[in-house]
Structure 1
């Protein structure tokens, strides 16, 4: 690829802008970014076992336990025994956690609309498939 330097620069710039946007909208909630991401994943996936949540977040169950403990204390998530496997614990959103998820999700939907609006209809149609293809690399 001849333009690998430009692609690298653009990826870094996109990451920095996206991270800055994310930090800005999360700061207004009083939550940390990892806490909000935890709410996002649970909100999008529904109640999950701790092991499943850790895999989706790319963290160990040990570090996730600390994060979930804080979210439980804040009244945003609750733990429940798994009905099928009594050794497992499931984590779900409380009504307050659901409100945080829904508010943040609306901001993500608006951001996605803004990104799609910057593309031609054909580019916008192909963009999700291109992102999926790229994400397989991680």
Structure 2
């Protein structure tokens, strides 16, 4: 088997396992995966305008509008008109949204610690460098 075929198989298996883990974690909460991902992006990057947030999530602004409306009703995010451009809407986490983000992020950190517990510090740095390169391709 060629290296690229083996790499493809390993990446696919890793993605499937991560997706399964993420689904099981979200299933235990009262929020959808899409809602958690929206909170995750806002928690990681801070308040964003709708277009930037939609781009970061890889969804349309129409889909995001529906998503944000649900999160506003749950008091997890708030919408504000931009001070620079009143037509532009900025979305930010509320305290409740921040708390959910922090809890979910702690689960990710715990998984990362578990997955890399047998790695040397050099292996962790190498993995981080390779993942950063892969992420730049997206």
* TM-score normalised according to structure 1 size: 0.93
Counterparts of 1:42-57 in structure 2, within 5 Å, are: 42-57=42-57
TM-superposed CA distance for 1:119, in Å, is 2.1
Query: Equivalent residue of 2:137, what SS?
Result: coil
TM-superposed CA distance for 1:6, in Å, is 1.8
1:25 equivalenced with 2:25 (yes/no): yes
What per-residue deviation string (whole Å, max 9, x for no partner) do you get for residues 21-80 of structure 1? Answer: 101111111111111000000011111111111111111111111111111111111101
TM-superposed CA distance for 1:118, in Å, is 3.4
Segments of 4+ moved more than 3 angstroms: none
Tell me the equivalent position of 2:136. 136
- Residue ranges of structure 2 left out of the alignment (5+ in a row): none
Inter-partner Cα distance in structure 2 for 1:119 and 1:81: 46
Tell me the equivalent position of 1:122. 122
Query: Equivalent residue of 1:92, what SS?
Result: strand
What per-residue deviation string (whole Å, max 9, x for no partner) do you get for residues 70-104 of structure 1? Answer: 11111111101111211111101111111110100
Inter-partner Cα distance in structure 1 for 2:35 and 2:116: 27
Tell me the equivalent position of 2:5. 5
* Number of matched pairs: 138
1:112 equivalenced with 2:117 (yes/no): no
